A and B are shown apart, each in its own frame.
Chain A
Amino acid sequence: MVEIMNDIFTYIIGGKAGEGVKKAGAAAANLFSEMGRKTFKMDDYQSLIRGGHNFSAVSTSTDDVYSHYMEADLIVNLDDRSYNLHKEHLTDDGLIIYNSGDTENEEGIGLPIDEISEDYSKSDLIKGVAGISVLSAVIGLDKDKLESLIEKEYSRGFEENLSFGEDIYDLAKEKIDKRVTLEKGEDDSPIFSGNEALSLGAASAGLDMYIGYPMTPASSILHFFAAHKKDLQIMPIHPENEISVANIAVGATMPGARVMVGSSGGGLALMEETISLAGMSESPVLFVLASRPGPSTGVPTYTEQGDLNFALNQGHGEFPLVVASPGSMEEAFYLAGEMLDILWTYQTPGIFLTEKHLSESSMNIDVDPSKVGWAEPKKFEGAGDYKRYEKTDDGISPLKFPPSEDVIKWNSYENDEKGITTEEPKMVEAMHDKRRDKNEKLMVDMKERDTVNQFGDTGPVIFTYGSTTMSVREAVKAGDIEAQIVQPKYLRPFPFWELEDHMNQEVIVVEQSSTGQFASLLREKCNIVPKTVIRKYDGRPFEPLKLAEKIKGAI
Chain B
Amino acid sequence: MNGLLNFIRRLGATAVEGVWRIGFAARFFVLLLRHSGQSLTRIHLTVREIYFSGVLSLLIIMVSGLFVGMVLGLQGYETLQRYGSGDALGVLVSLSLTRELGPVVAGLLFASRAGLAVTAEIGLMKTTEQLDAMDMMAVNPIARVVAPRFWGGVISMPLLAALFSAMGVLGGWLIGVVFIGVDNGAFWSQMQAAVDFRFDIMNGVIKSFVFGATVALIAVFEGYDCTPTAEGLSRAITRTVVTSALAILALDFVLTSLMFRGQS
- Does B associate with A? no
Interface residues of B (CB under 8 A from A): none
